[in-house]
Each structure stands twice: as C-alpha cells, then as structure tokens.
C-alpha cells in the first residue's frame, strides 16, 4: 500500500524457526529467554532505517492469541528494543524481540518428585522393624535405592547433556544420599547386634563346694543361702554361706582376727580369683557392662526415626525456597 504522503506499507507472512540459548541450571523450575532479531542483510541505516512502530502508546508487537501455551512452556512476557550495530560497511539497525518462557513443571512433579517422596518414606519403615529383621530391612533399603536409580535414569535420558548441575540433579543426589545413609544405619545396627550376641555372658556353672578357711575339708553348698550365726567355742572365726562363688561377684575372702567379737560375718569364695575360668568370666562381665553403657540397637533406630525426617524436611525447605524464588 502506497499512501498519498509517500509512505509504503508492506506486509510479510514469514514462518521462522529461531534458535534459543537455554540454561537448565534450575530445571525443571526454570525460565528461558529467547531472542529474535530482524535487520537488513544488504543495506545499512543510511539506506534502510528500521524502527519499531509505536502509535498511540500501543506496543509495537501484537500477539494474535491472548495466551500462548506450549506442551512444556508458557509465554509469560515479551518485550522489544532496537540497537545500532557497527559493521565495517557502516551502521545497521537491529530490531530485537525478547520472549520469556516459563516451564510447566507439573509433569515432573507427578513423575519425579512424588514417587521419590514415597520411596524415601518406604526406606524409613526399616527403622521400625528392629534389629532382628535384618533381611527385611536390607530388602527395603536396596529396593529403594534401585527404584530411585531407575526412575532418575529414565528422566535424565530425555534431557540434554550439560556439564553443569541442574536442580533435578541436586534432588536426585539428595534422595540417593538419604537412602544410602539409611543403609549405613542398617549396617551399624547389624554389626552392633552381632557384637552384642557375641559378647553376651553365658550362664556360669555352679560350683559344688568351696574351701572352708582354717580347715582342710570342704563345705558343700546345696542352695544359695545367707547364714549368720555365732562361732563355736574353740574357733575364733565365723562364716557366711552365700551360694556359688562364680555367680555372685560380692564373694570375697575376709579374715577376722581372734581379738574381734565372736559373732562375725565372713564371705568365703573358694578359688574364683585364682582359676583361669574365673578371670575370663570377670573380663567378659566387664566387657558386657561397658557395652551396656554404649548406644544400643533400639536407641540408634529411635534416633534415626527422628533424625532422618527432620533432616529431610530441612533439605526440602532449602531446596524449594531456593529454586522457586531464583528468578
């Protein structure tokens, strides 16, 4: 169209497929910015002066549809600007359109995030099974680890290979770390349970007799009994029968002098402290007593039941607050 004042109105219908440099560091909560530039190929601005048409305050770029939605993106904003670019042959005018696309990450929520939440929760069930269910706990942990690896492998297969870390990579590594730590907790509980079974004290054999102080014979003990009585006229000693020497650590030799009162109490303990069996039994009892003072399997499981969910909640707070507000 040629107007009376010499203005020429030319319309072109052009279908263009333009490249777009994308940044996947916040994938799948990312925004992509694409540019489309229009300029003359042969003539500089001395011959062809290109400007954006702005009449009555209207935007020079008009969309034929109110909203443009793609399967993965939504067009959220667009702007225009012009530049003067210097080339060896002169100065050219460039008209640039800037489009901002926001990714629709609902598909990834249902296909990646929600299944991983369920997998993490399933791996925590092993904390409630106790130290006696090692095979079942191992099966839960290994299956959770394999499920996460298979699931993220299918998602990553359809993404471009980039050298930087994406948001989905951070989520994947964090979930794998939680499942791996649950397996480490299972290994600690299993080794501690095996050590406790190994160090558990055996039922000591009851000795049939103990040597009486001052006599050459032996006094048989048929049942645990505490007896206190007066000494005989010709003996300055008194004694107390107190069951087996090996079963009670309080049995100790005590000698009373003749100058003391005739009614005294003495604990006789045979040859417990001199035999190798008695020494080994005392060492084993001390080790078992030290093991009781340490963490038990139930205490570790109870601690894990509160520690793992708390750390996972903290991880979610930092993850979602950072990537959802990054742009």
The tens place of each residue's pLDDT in the chain, 327 residues long, gives 999 999 998 988 888 888 899 999 999 999 999 999 999 998 999 999 888 887 676 778 888 887 788 889 999 999 999 999 999 989 999 999 999 999 999 989 998 999 999 999 999 999 998 888 999 999 999 999 999 999 888 888 888 888 899 999 999 999 999 999 999 999 999 988 888 777 765 545 444 443 443 444 444 444 444 444 444 444 445 444 444 445 555 555 444 444 544 444 444 444 444 556 667 777 776 666 555 557 888 899 999 999 999 999 999 999 999 999 887
How would you list the strands of the sheet with 90-103, edge to edge? 31-39, 90-103, 73-87
Strand-pair partners of 92: 85
Q: Whole-angstrom Cα distance, residue 199 to residue 195?
A: 6
Residues 44 and 90 in one domain: yes
Residues 146 and 193 in one domain: yes
Question: Chain centroid to CA 278: how far?
Answer: 47
Question: How many angstroms separate the Cα of 24 from the Cα of each of 5, 164, 307, 310?
Answer: 51, 8, 32, 29
Supply the CATH number for residue 142's domain. 1.20.58.390
Q: Whole-angstrom Cα distance, residue 179 to residue 22?
A: 32
Range 102-118 burial, b when 16+ CB lie within 10 A, else e = bbebeebeeebeeebee
Do the domain assignments include residue 284?
Answer: no
φ and ψ of 116, to 5 deg: -70, -35
Residues 197 and 218 in one domain: no
pTM: 0.66
Residues 119 and 193 in one domain: yes
Structural domain including 195 reads 115-201+295-324
Domain end residue (candidates: 85, 104, 123): 104
Question: Closest by alpha carbon to 165, among 175, 154, 176, 173?
Answer: 173
Residues 184 and 225 in one domain: no
pLDDT of residue 104: 92
- DSSP code, position 267: B
Domain end residue (candidates: 57, 72, 104): 104
> How many independent structural domains does the chain possess?
3
Q: Which residues contact 197 (CB under 8 A, 6 or more apart)?
A: none
Do the domain assignments include residue 19?
Answer: no
Domain end residue (candidates: 253, 269, 285): 269
Residues 36 and 100 in one domain: yes
Do the domain assignments include residue 236?
Answer: yes
Residues 301 and 256 in one domain: no
Q: Whole-angstrom Cα distance, residue 44 to residue 64?
A: 31
Residues 120 and 197 in one domain: yes
Q: Which residues contact 150 (CB under 8 A, 6 or more apart)?
A: none
Do the domain assignments include residue 277?
Answer: no
Residues 134 and 236 in one domain: no
Do the domain assignments include residue 168?
Answer: yes
pLDDT of residue 283: 72
Do the domain assignments include residue 166?
Answer: yes
Residues 302 and 180 in one domain: yes
Q: Which residues contact 239 (CB under 8 A, 6 or more apart)?
A: 212, 213, 266, 267, 268
Residue 168: CB atoms within 10 A of its CB come to 22
Residues 68 and 51 in one domain: yes
Residues 150 and 84 in one domain: no
pLDDT of residue 113: 95
Do the domain assignments include residue 275?
Answer: no
DSSP 3-state assignment of 64?
coil
pLDDT of residue 275: 56
pLDDT of residue 69: 82
Do the domain assignments include residue 195?
Answer: yes
């Amino acid at each position: 169209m040629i107007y009376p004042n010499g203005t020429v109105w030319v319309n072109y219908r052009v279908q263009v497929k333009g490249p777009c440099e994308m940044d996947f560091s916040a994938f799948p909560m990312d925004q992509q910015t694409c540019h489309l530039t229009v300029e003359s190929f042969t003539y500089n601005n001395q011959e062809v002066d290109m400007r954006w048409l702005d009449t009555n305050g209207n935007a020079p770029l008009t969309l034929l549809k109110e909203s443009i939605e793609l399967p993965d993106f939504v067009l959220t904003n667009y702007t225009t600007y012009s530049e003067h670019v210097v080339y060896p042959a002169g100065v050219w005018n460039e008209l640039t359109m800037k489009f901002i696309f926001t990714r629709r990450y609902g598909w990834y929520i249902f296909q990646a995030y929600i299944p991983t939440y369920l997998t993490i929760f399933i791996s925590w069930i092993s904390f409630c099974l106790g130290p006696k269910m090692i095979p079942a706990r191992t099966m839960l942990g290994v299956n959770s680890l394999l499920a996460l690896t298979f699931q993220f492998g299918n998602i990553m297969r359809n993404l471009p290979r980039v050298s930087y870390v994406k948001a989905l990579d951070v989520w994947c590594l964090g979930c794998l770390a939680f499942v791996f730590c649950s397996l480490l907790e299972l290994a600690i509980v299993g080794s501690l349970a095996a050590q406790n079974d190994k160090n558990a004290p055996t039922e000591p054999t009851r000795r049939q007799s103990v040597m009486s102080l001052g006599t050459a014979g032996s006094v048989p003990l048929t049942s645990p009994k505490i007896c206190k009585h007066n000494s005989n006229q010709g003996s300055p000693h008194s004694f107390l029968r107190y069951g087996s020497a090996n079963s009670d650590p309080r049995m100790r030799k005590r000698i009373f002098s003749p100058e003391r009162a005739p009614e005294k109490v003495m604990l006789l303990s045979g040859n417990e402290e001199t035999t190798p069996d008695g020494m080994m039994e005392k060492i084993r009892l001390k080790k078992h007593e030290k093991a009781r003072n340490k963490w038990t399997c139930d205490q570790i499981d109870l601690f894990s039941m509160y520690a793992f969910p708390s750390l996972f909640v903290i991880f979610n707070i930092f993850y979602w607050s950072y990537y959802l507000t990054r742009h």
